Amino acid sequence: MRWWKVAGLAGLAGVAATGVVIARAERKRRAYTPDEIRERLHTRVAEAATSPEKSE
């Protein structure tokens, strides 16, 4: 096998692995219910409001 074939197969495997990672993340993100998302956003806003601001 020539080196360019090996490099091509490695690139193809990398693209496939990246696609799997992206698909898993998307599935996990879509698993939240609207109420869960709303609750998480409210929590983040509350944390941001109580944290001290940076003064530079």
pLDDT at 11 over 70: yes
pLDDT score of 17: 94
Whole domain around residue 29: which residue ranges?
A: 15-48
Instruction: Map residue 5 onto helix, strand or coil.
Output: helix
pLDDT score of 27: 87
7 is a domain residue: no
The total number of structural domains in the chain stands at 1
The larger pLDDT score, comparing residue 49 to residue 54, is at 49
2 is a domain residue: no
Full-model pTM:
0.47
8 is a domain residue: no
Residues 30 and 24: their CA atoms lie apart, in Å, by 10
23 is a domain residue: yes
pLDDT digits (tens, 9 = 90+) for 13-32: 999 999 999 999 988 888 88
pLDDT score of 23: 92
To which residue do tokens 């799997």 refer? 20
